[in-house]
Amino acid sequence: MERKLTDFLDAPPKKDNGLTREELERVLKKAADLIRTRVDYKYILLLLFLKRLSDEWEKEFEEYVRKLMNEGLDRKTAEELALKDREAYTISYPPEYLWRKLREKDIESLPQNLSQALKKLAELNPNLRGIVDRFDFMEFMLHRDNAEILRQLFELFSGLDLKNASPDVLGDAYEWILRYFAPQKAKEGEVYTPREVIRLLVEILKPEPGEEVYDPSMGSGGMLIGAYIYVKEHRRADEAKKLFLYGQEVNPTTYALAEMNMILHGIKSPKLAVGDTLLRPAFKEGERLKRFDVVIANPPWNQDGYGEATLKKAEFKEERFKYGYPPNNSADWAWIQHMLASAKDNGRVGIVIDNGALFRGGAEKKIRAKILKDDLLEAVILLPEKLFYNTGAPGAIMIFNRNKPDDRKGKVLFINASQEYEKHPEVRKLNRLGEEHIRKIVDAFEKFEDVDGFARVVDLDEIKENDYNLNVTLYVFSMEEEEEIDVKAEWEELRRINEELAEVDEKIEGYLRELGHDCVNTTVSNK
């Protein structure tokens, strides 16, 4: 007997109202428990994405049909016309692969049907080619238990009605999945930037509506989305739509995740590309590198293989690496130079970097010296340790400005934020930046003045005297909180200890007398 997915229904009834974050997170936690490490977490992201597109298309289809019926057409004719007009929908979805129709099909064919749905989506939507069709649910068939896991995942998401879910809720859900699996993926080499670090960066750089924001190492798109959310929160949602987002990612699968992330966040028409940024930057204006208002990134730290021999083959090498080539074992200063070259004459640049890039010698020191002499560096922020999933190293943020205000020229602000953290509420071994810590760092950057034990404005001459060493602790010593002392209690404790010592002395003297020894100057205390 053919089994259908609807034979196994145990999902909660659908709701017509908008889904809350809490409701969606409960389902995601169940999904995460189901797959653990047996199945790639990216398939949860993909199911969430597919369910949203299916539900949204059905909603738009029904609205279109009602509109046509109000114009006098019968339902059958209205449905036929609505199906033909593919341009009427946000995303053109293949009706034969709608989520509810997949549930009516044979269980055994679920992986094939999901894979076909993705391929058909890519055929109907050129902007989804190379994104959704990059995944294949047939991978679930590599292990016999995975088919049952997929069925359960599918049923979990079947209990969700995503047609009215806001982009904020869906975007948060997508980010929740990325964050939840970050510790596991860090062991496999994937990098996840904590959203608090992104928030700190965008609060400092302050992107504005109408500006172009670029991330040359975008990963799953967190930095760009952070910039979008900043404008949305500080202005209005319609103002955020005026922010132009650009990003490049070398890993095709991660690039696909970024594209889906943007769609779920409701971000229209970001310009994203796949490819090796250091060798072949994707964004150009004629024969020149395209330049942006804000450049923001957390590139791979100490990436090897990008020394002089490699970068001499790169496009726009004279324009991008004019300060020199980095050593082969660390591309940190190649990334910094690319970002500076990608910034407009009044552009701002923010990068999360390995702390060692601030003070290592050799070729890196020569590059640092030249950039400092051009007065492009505005601030260096030492972060707390254990913020990142893939390393316990503290890391640093460097802020560059191609048009520093007059009162900041010839100076660099150093901020020692190494003590600005709280324990991570979900990952025992990690720390995180709290709201008050972010505010404190941003305030210090904006005021650009000395704060004892926390921030210091340093002249370029002093940095030169220190051989262009940018190690924050060389300029700012963090002030550890001094423990308050209860003098009266401490004095009472000292008296008690002395009394106990006196009793011990008397006992020892008694023992010595019994043994016939002279007790003069033989006591153990320092009376």
Query: Could you tell me the end-to-end alpha-carbon distance of the chain, in angstroms, rounded to an integer?
Result: 95
Query: What is residue 455's predicted lDDT score, i.e. its pLDDT?
Result: 97
Q: Using pLDDT thresholds of 50, 70 and 90, give the confidence band for residue 483.
A: low
Q: What is the pLDDT of residues 232-287, one digit of tens each?
A: 999 888 899 999 999 999 999 999 999 999 999 999 899 999 999 999 999 999 98
User: What integer pLDDT is reported at residue 35 of this predicted model?
Assistant: 82
pLDDT at residue number 300: 94
SS3 187: coil
Q: Decide if pLDDT at 144 tops 90.
A: no
**Pair 340, 316: CB distance under 8 Å:** no
Q: How far apart are CA 224 and CA 230, in angstroms?
A: 10
Pairing relationship of beta strands 288-289 and 292-297 according to DSSP bridges = unpaired
Rounded mean pLDDT, 180-205? 85
Q: Write a three-state SS string for 141-179.
A: HHCHHHHHHHHHHHHHHHCCCCCCCCHHHHHHHHHHHHH
pLDDT at 15: 42
SS3 of residue 153 by DSSP: helix
Q: Which of 377, 379, 397 is nearest to 387 (CA)?
A: 397
Per DSSP, what are the bridge partners of residue 455? 415, 451
Mean pLDDT of the chain: 89
Q: How far from 525 is each of 237, 498, 501, 512, 522, CA to CA, in Å?
A: 75, 8, 6, 15, 9
Cα 52 to Cα 99: distance, rounded to the nearest angstrom = 10
Which pLDDT band holds residue 5 (cuts at 50, 70, 90)? very low
Q: Which two tokens stand for residue 97?
A: 């692969």
φ, ψ of residue 458 in degrees (nearest 5): -120, 130
